[in-house]
Amino acid sequence: MLVLRFYMQISSKELILLIAIITFIFLIAPLFLIIYIFLYNKKKAKHLEEKEVLKKTFELELLKSQVEVQEHILQTIAGDLHDNIGQLLSLTSMTLSSIKADHLREEKINTAAELTHRAIKELRQLSKKMNGQELIKKSLGHAIAYELDWLKKGLAYEIQFTDNTTHSISAHADKELIMFRLFQEILSNILKHAQATRIKITIDQTKDYLSLFVQDNGKGFILADKLEAGDGLGLGNLQKRTSMMDGNFTINSTPGKGTDIQVSIPYQ
Amino acid sequence: MHAFFTVNTVTELICLLISVICLYKDKNVYWRSFMLYLLMVCIVEMVGISLRLEHKPNYALYTWFLVIECTMISCFFYHLYRKYHHKPGQLYSWLGLFILVFLLELFTNHFSNFASKTAAFMSVVFVIASLYYYVLILKDEHFRKLETYPPFWIVNGVLFFYFGSTACNVFFDYLLQEKAHSLSLSTRYVTFNILNVLLYSCWSYAFICRYRQRN
């Protein structure tokens, strides 16, 4: 009834015009709604991007703290080994050398003194190896060479090390230390899993980058399979630490032929 | 012959062609059913025109086509909502309600007119369904690039068409009155031409996006 009365009050021409206007408004409204959804979606994208950046920054900060704490602990243990146990062993060595005994006992005491002397030497080397900051003081190349000397002593590996670095930048000592720890982890992986006989290590320095290249002739693996099986051999950790320094981490492995790993970090 | 090629039919035919090219190899049955639906739209439109040319009423054809239209769009909305854990019971309830309203109107007007009230009711429900889909998209934490997101463009087309046709549906009885027949016919005709172009443009774009994302 209301509609009929409404019809009667206005002419048909006016009503049709009204319908046309209503339809036009009904078309404009969804248009604005869609524009609003687009804008909101863009805002959402920006928000998600920011959230992702924050998450990444937080993860990197966490990793940085972990590395710092780890370094600190290693340094403390290295210090304790050197200062306490080292001192005790030195005292033992001195005590042994001061004992005056008969011919039969002297031989045994000399053997004990020699063993103690070797233990002191080993302990010093271990302590030095653990104290990365101390080791890296000279240069990254020197630290790697020291690590390889340690390796050459015990195991039968054909090791080739090339140091193409020209100079150390003291401001980047932390980066060098992390690079050195990465090298230690890569080397440890090779010793544990690769069954290699030959290891080739190269460090290069360009104007902007410091690169470490490690190649072995071990059994190799299929990277995708390892990652899928969650058995990443600490590759994820290596990758994370590299990205912490805004660097690039690449790995190529062929089953039966070996593995190449390259780590490059900005260094200018 | 040229009477068969109006703005509506040409738009529908182009959309059908795009759907066949883009969705022929699509694995999703809901998307593939658009080809069949658009084919039926084109056939109904052609039969409707030929009946009109023979001066026979064609409202029965369009009235019964409402059932197919409602089923297709409702099923597609169900497919979209399914991602957000909606149950099939809601779809069956809605389709049951629609059939009830549809039959009630047919019996009320003794099968002698187009079921315009059911069409208006269906339009309102589809507008609400489209708006609800937008709410789900906005609430979803997963980000989607809406510029090229096919379901979004299907829903945009549906919203434009059913929201825009509300005024025409509400005043349908008046627009059929003889007094204003010629003027109202042109108003309705132009309105539905614009709405159809909008609907099928959005759908065609959605099909192209779907095709490009599949390949």
Interface residue A13 vs chain B (CB under 8 A): yes
C-alpha span between B78 and A60 (Å, rounded): 43
In the predicted structure, residue B211 carries a pLDDT above the cut 70: yes
For residue A158, list its beta bridge partners.
A198
Say what percent of chain A tops pLDDT 70: 91
Residue A11 pLDDT class (50, 70, 90 cuts) = low
C-alpha span between A65 and A235 (Å, rounded): 19
Q: Indicate the burial class of B101 (C-beta count within 10 angstroms; 0-12, 13-18, 19 or more).
A: middle
Interface residue A58 vs chain B (CB under 8 A): no
* Alpha-carbon distance values, B70 to B78, B173, B204 (Å): 12, 21, 19
Query: Do B24 and B67 touch, CB atoms closer than 8 A?
Result: no
The pLDDT tens digits of the residues spanning A118-143 come to: 888 888 878 877 777 777 777 888 88
Q: Domains (ranges, CATH) in chain A?
A: 13-130 (no CATH), 138-268 (3.30.565.10)
C-alpha span between B130 and A85 (Å, rounded): 76
Q: Do B175 and A19 touch (CB under 8 A)?
A: yes
Supply the mean pLDDT for chain A. 82
Interface residue B171 vs chain A (CB under 8 A): yes
Separation in Å, CA of B177 to nearest CA in chain A: 10
User: Between A12, A26, A45, which is nearest B163 by CB?
Assistant: A26
The pLDDT tens digits of the residues spanning A47-93 come to: 989 998 898 888 878 877 887 788 888 888 888 888 888 888 888 88
Separation in Å, CA of B109 to nearest CA in chain A: 18
The pLDDT tens digits of the residues spanning B87-138 come to: 788 889 999 999 999 999 888 887 777 888 888 899 999 999 999 999 999 8
**Buried/exposed code over B30-69 (b: 16+ C-beta within 10 A; e: otherwise):** bbebbbebbeebbebbeebbeeeeeeeebbbbbbebbbeb
Interface residue A32 vs chain B (CB under 8 A): no
C-alpha span between B116 and B121 (Å, rounded): 8
* Alpha-carbon distance values, B104 to A176, B59, B72 (Å): 82, 17, 21
Give the ipTM: 0.82
Mutation target among A5, A7, A26, A40 for the B interface, most CBs of B within 10 A? A26
To the nearest 10°, report the CA torsion of B75, B77, B82, B86.
Answer: -100
State both tokens at A166.
Answer: 């020209």
Long-range contacts of B31-34 (CB under 8 A, 24+ apart): B31/B150, B31/B210, B33/B72, B33/B75, B34/B72, B34/B203, B34/B207
The pLDDT tens digits of the residues spanning B130-177 come to: 999 999 998 888 888 889 999 999 999 999 999 888 777 777 666 666
- Helix-helix angle B116-139:B150-164, to 10 degrees: 140
Q: Do B146 and A38 touch (CB under 8 A)?
A: yes
Phi, psi of A200, rounded to the nearest 5 degrees: -120, 125
- Using the structure block, give the residue that is written with the tokens 């050197």: A82
Question: Nearest Cα to B208, choosing from B62, B23, B14, B70?
Answer: B23
Interface residue A30 vs chain B (CB under 8 A): yes
Question: Nearest Cα to B19, choosing from B34, B41, B37?
Answer: B34
The pLDDT tens digits of the residues spanning A133-189 come to: 777 777 888 888 888 887 777 667 888 899 888 777 767 777 888 888 888 888 888
Number of inter-chain CB pairs under 8 A, A vs B: 67
Question: Nearest Cα to A186, choosing from A170, A173, A202?
Answer: A202
Query: Do B95 and B147 touch, CB atoms closer than 8 A?
Result: no
Q: A190 CB contacts (<8 Å, ≥6 apart)?
A: A196, A199, A214, A216, A218, A259
C-alpha span between A266 and B44 (Å, rounded): 68
DSSP H or E stretch at residue B21: helix B7-23
Q: Which residues of A touch B181 (CB under 8 A)?
A: none
User: Between A27, A34, A44, which is nearest B164 by CB?
Assistant: A27
Query: In terms of CA atoms, which chain B residue is nearest residue A25?
Result: B164
Interface residue B180 vs chain A (CB under 8 A): yes
Q: Do A27 and B171 touch (CB under 8 A)?
A: no
How many other CB atoms are found less than 10 A from the CB of residue A30? 22
Q: Which pLDDT value is given to residue B72?
A: 94
